[in-house]
Amino acid sequence: MGLLFAILVADRLNPPPLQRAQTRSVVVADRHGEVLRTFLARDGAWRLPVRHQDVDPRFIRYLMAWEDQRFGAHPGVDPFALLRAAYQLARDTRIVSGGSTLTMQAARLLEPRPRTLLAKAQQILRAVQIDAHLSKGEVLDLYLTLAPYGGNLEGIRAASLAWFGKEPKVLTTGEAALLVALPQSPERRRPDRFPKMAKAARDRILQTLADRGHITQTEAREAMAEPIPERRIPFPFLAPHLSERLARSAPASTATVRATLDRTVQMKLEDLARRESRFVDDMATIAVIAVDTASGQVIGHLGGHDFWGVAGQIDLTRRARSPGSTLKPFIYGLAFDDLMIHPLTLIDDKPTVFGDYAPRNFDRAFQGTVSITQALQMSLNVPAVALLDRVGPLKLAGRLRDAGATLVFPTRGAVPSLPLALGGVGISLEDLTTLYAAIPGGGVVRPLRFEVGQGGGATSRLFGEQAAYYLAKILRGSPLPDGWSMGQGVIRARAVGFKTGTSYGYRDAWAIGFSPRYTVGVWVGRADGSTRPGYFGRNAAAPILLKAFECLPPEPQGLPLPPPGIIVAQNAAQLPRALQRFRTRGQEKAGLRAIQPPRISFPPDGSVVGLPREGPRQTMALKARGGEGTLRWIINGVPVTDGQGPQIFWTPDSTGFSQLTVVDGAGRSDTVRVRFKTD
């Protein structure tokens, strides 16, 4: 009993030193487990996490046959092997076989010591202790993680990737035999330095396996004919910016981070960016992000196409830059929501002064009277500013922020104003792509997800389903880049809609697009923000965007059905009078000086209304005053179809916040937010 107690105390005071095995490289893998990028362990080794279940079973069999035939039966030490080694040492006065089990080798790798009899005795004790603490599978994992393979390669996974360029899940007979041979003398058998010695060691193992009946002589000869790798293959280096971000944010104990990326998509996007970089200036870079719209999962991410170039390590998907005209669809979306406009509504594009602000178009020309569809497709500036003047810059900025976007204004504390329509604010490619995903997403914004298992986060509504439908239909008709008719095939095959933008001074070229399933954002520019005359969104970014869609997995063809509440017409004359033509504030004041805009008188903004906890739902009156013509109501972005006028009756369908809007015949509106709760 005393001896047993002493052993237990010693075991508690001096447990197995597993720290080295736990100091592993961080591996960032894609959604399918394929390696994207690996990072050195803290001690400078490539020590990749591995489980024996993920290794070719033939390698495990060959390893046992060569190193430890009774691995499954002994308690960490094989007495027969030790006796044999001692007898051979006495007989030949030299070490013929070491008698070490895989457990003993794992113990030596955990605690490297000089090769002495004392060290061997300590190794034996450690092996017994390790075997008592761990299962046989865990011991095998320990060896497979720590076994040396030359240079700073440790473990079979690092070795297989470095020497064969693949995971050890499937190995040839020759590859498996070489990986058995290398740990016995990793530096003297390094294939890139001593290929003859590596081949001799491998072939010796193959012949022994054949002689013992583990493989046939024919298999041995064929495996001996396999070439020895001449050099180390670089580890995968995909999505370097996102991989680094995920690795840095992972808990210290994490060995593998599963990104939502798709390795095949990522490789195609990186190849595309490298090819397209020939057509941009030498100092410019290309950033791309591709999103599965329904889930918010990022399936492709490129923070810049040249990681090792000037400022290449900056993740430009996260840098705030001027978005040019790419915010215009959100102005139109809010105007659709408030029933100010319809895609067929007429609007003037002519010289207009808004206070001290006089916007002009990109080409310095004006188009006269156009439809809302034409105004957005042609990216006309005056109509966009006129709509923002009515919607309100504060409202637009608030909606974008509520959707999770970070807006950076030129000066600290600046109040959103009309230049917001033309890019007078900074926003990142990540945030802009997130916002655009609301268009095919029915108006709902979903936070981006970068890691498998990451929560989706709270969704928010940017605009209603009807507005999203109108925007998608309009942007699917955006003009193609000049001389790029081949893009028509991509648009037809995937029903792609897109919008381009160019910041002041040609600093940033943007193209953001969507199909029914995916949303893609592209930014082209210089990391230092310097100008690039002649490069704008339509010619520099849009071609890359359309080619990026060809890199994505196939998706079902066909368009989603229109939501309820869509107004169908052939021309503006068939629309309700208030939607036939949009009037600017100046036009509105000239014709409506004596008529006050509509105001909701009940319920007041910010009020709390009690609902019965049980029984029938309570109907309440919604009241408004003022306004011209018929008053129409919108509740939570959905037009009310069974009532109009200064008073309607409505039954709340749930507790929580509701947004109530009234719109008059001139398109003027008032909105309140009300909270409903049970008594």
Find where tokens 């922020």 sit.
Answer: 401
> Measured between alpha carbons, how far is 512 from 516 in angstroms, rounded to an integer?
14
Please list, in sequence order, all residues whose beta carbon lies within 8 angstroms of the beta carbon of residue 366, skipping any fewer than 6 positions away.
349, 350, 351, 382
Between strands 35-39 and 26-29, the pairing is antiparallel
What pairs with residue 676 in β-bridges?
609, 656
> Measured between alpha carbons, how far is 549 from 196 in angstroms, rounded to an integer?
48
The pLDDT value recorded for residue 311 is 85
This model's pTM is above 0.85 = no
Domains, the chain, with CATH or none: 18-224 (1.10.3810.10), 284-549 (3.40.710.10), 594-678 (2.60.40.10)
The pLDDT value recorded for residue 570 is 93
Report which of residues 475 and 250 the model is more confident about: 475
Per-residue pLDDT band for 4 (boundaries 50, 70, 90) equals very low
Least confident of 158-172, 181-195, 420-434, 621-635: 621-635
The pLDDT value recorded for residue 25 is 92
Per-residue pLDDT, averaged over 367-374, amounts to 95
Phi-psi region of 169 (alpha: psi -120 to 50; beta: other; left: phi over 0): alpha
> Measured between alpha carbons, how far is 575 from 342 in angstroms, rounded to an integer?
8
Least confident of 137-151, 294-308, 351-365: 351-365
The pLDDT value recorded for residue 10 is 54
Which has the closest alpha carbon to 451: 674, 259, 223, 255? 259
If residue 471 lies in a helix (H) or strand (E), which one and from where to where? helix 465-475
> Measured between alpha carbons, how far is 445 from 408 in angstroms, rounded to an integer?
20
Per-residue pLDDT for 185 more than 70?
Answer: yes
The phi and psi torsions of 586 (rounded to 5 degrees) equal -65, -45
The phi and psi torsions of 148 (rounded to 5 degrees) equal -80, 140
Per-residue pLDDT for 91 more than 70?
Answer: no
Q: Which of 67, 270, 451, 465 is catalytic?
A: 67
The distance from CA 345 to its chain's CA centroid, rounded to whole angstroms, is 38
Between strands 46-47 and 153-154, the pairing is parallel
Report which of residues 634 and 263 the model is more confident about: 263
Per-residue pLDDT band for 85 (boundaries 50, 70, 90) equals low
In 189-274, DSSP assigns E strands to 256-258
Per-residue pLDDT band for 268 (boundaries 50, 70, 90) equals very high
Share of the chain above pLDDT 70, in %: 92
67 catalytic residue (yes or no)? yes
Which has the closest alpha carbon to 357: 385, 317, 318? 385
Q: Which of 160, 322, 325, 428 is catalytic?
A: 325
Average pLDDT over the chain reads 89
Per-residue pLDDT for 290 more than 50?
Answer: yes
Structure tokens at 551: 């890199």
Per-residue pLDDT for 456 more than 80?
Answer: no
Per-residue pLDDT for 2 more than 60?
Answer: no
379 catalytic residue (yes or no)? no
The pLDDT value recorded for residue 228 is 97
